[in-house]
Amino acid sequence: MDRSVNVASLMLLLFIVTSSLACVTQSVYNEVSEERDALAVELERTRIERDSLEEQYYEAKESYEDERITRTSLATNLEKTSKLASKLDRSLAAERDARIAAAKALAAREAELAKIQSTYDELVTDLESEVSAGQIEIERLREGLRLNVSDDVLFATGSADLDAIGRDVLIKVAGQLTGLKDFIEVRGHSDNRKIGGSLAKRYPSNWELAAARAARVVRLLEAEGVPGSRLSAVSLGPNQPIVPNDSAENRARNRRIEIRLLPRGGRDEEKAEESTKTEAKTEAKTGEPAPASTAASES
């Protein structure tokens, strides 16, 4: 009987222990399940945050690339703009310098023109009697002056030697020309009559005679103080008559010495105006028309 009681007691104790263990295991299971579920929720939340962060990262990367491209473009544009600004600055400086130079040149030319006008007035006054007599014509050009002097006033027929009256007239003219800076071109003109007889040995044609007379006037102007670097002698022969050579009076008008004052740089302009005309230049002191003995006696 005691043995039966012990077995029953043992069985009861085993039942109690087993029941307790079952309760403990269920509780732990429930806690683990809850933790698992919480971890699953946390994991999902973390995954969502990761995906969001990855999306933000790629967006930030694209934005950075766009900004880098924009910055590079701006830097390139800035460099181009800086170069353009520098070029414009240089252009403006060059234009300013050109305007200043042009203004100075214009002022200098206006002063020269004023001086030429004064020379014109003084020549008209000094040569009033010759102008009144029609022996000299003084014309104010757009730029410069032109004096037409009849050969009859300056030279004997068929000669390149100045007579006393011609010398006095040219000395008056030289006195007005010495202070100018303009180029002076002396042009010899003749009528269309052929040169014959013994005179033809010295002057084979009107070219040589007109050249000799122009050269003689140039040499006198130089002797009276006009710098030789501002002088030239030109022969036009019979090729530029101012009236038809159909009478003695007209031929006398065509035989003339023309003294032109040309502004520096203006000679090309004069040549352009007369591009259809023939000109043959003979330098003073170089041709046969003015022998050394004649020049020495008359200078």
pLDDT in tens, 130-140: 788 777 888 88
Per-residue pLDDT of 210-222, as tens digits, reads 999 999 999 999 9
Verify that 220 and 164 share a domain, yes or no: yes
Whether residue 206 is found in the same domain as residue 291: yes
Note the pLDDT of residue 232: 95
**Global pTM value:** 0.54
Residue 201 has a CB neighbour count (10 Å cut-off) of 8
Cα dist. 206→101, 174, 277, 279 in Å? 46, 26, 16, 13
Residue 18 has pLDDT above 90, yes or no: no
CATH number, residue 242: 3.30.1330.60
From 110, 144, 169, the end of a domain falls on: 110
Q: Give a yes or no: residue 22 inside a domain.
A: no
Are residues 164 and 275 both part of a single domain? Answer: yes
Q: Domain limits at 85?
A: 60-110
Residue-averaged pLDDT of the chain: 79
Whether 11 is in a domain gets the answer no
Residues 140 and 102 in one domain: no
Name the residue with higher pLDDT: 269 or 24: 24
Residue 111, pLDDT above cutoff 80: no
The pLDDT-based confidence of 192 (bands split at 50, 70, 90) is very high
For residues 157 and 167, what is the distance between their CA atoms, to the nearest angstrom? 16
Q: How many domains does the chain have?
A: 2
Residues 94 and 218 in one domain: no
Residue 221 in domain: yes
Name which of 38-47, 68-77, 126-135 the model is least confident about. 126-135
Task: Report d(CA 278, CA 241) in Å as an integer.
Answer: 12
| Contact between residue 22 and residue 30 where contact means Cβ atoms under 8 Å apart | no
Token match 């020495």: residue? 296
Q: Answer yes or no: do 191 and 259 share one domain.
A: yes
Residue 167 sits in the same domain as residue 133 = yes
Residue 52 inside a domain? The answer is no
Percent helix, strand, coil in the chain, to 5, is 65, 10, 25
Q: Is residue 46 part of a domain?
A: no
The reply to whether 51 falls in a domain is no
The whole-number average pLDDT for the span 36-41 is 83
Centre a 10 Å sphere on the Cβ of residue 121 and count the other Cβ atoms it contains: 13
Residue 249 is assigned to a structural domain of this protein? yes
The label of the residue with tokens 């050249």 reads 211
Q: Is it the case that residue 85 has pLDDT exceeding 80?
A: yes
Domain end (from 76, 110, 144): 110
Do 160 and 212 share a domain, yes or no? yes
In a domain, 281, yes or no: yes
Same domain, 160 and 238: yes
Q: What is the pLDDT of residue 209?
A: 93
Whether 192 and 234 map to the same domain: the answer is yes
Interval 276-286 mean pLDDT: 38
The per-residue pLDDT for 33 is 81
The per-residue pLDDT for 285 is 36
pLDDT of 173 > 80? The answer is yes
The residues with which 140 forms a beta bridge, in sequence order, are 145
Task: State the pLDDT confidence band at 207, using cuts at 50, 70 and 90.
Answer: very high
Pair 215, 101 in one domain: no
Q: Are residues 163 and 229 in the same domain?
A: yes
Average pLDDT over residues 243-266: 86
Q: Report, as an integer, the average pLDDT of 243-251.
A: 93
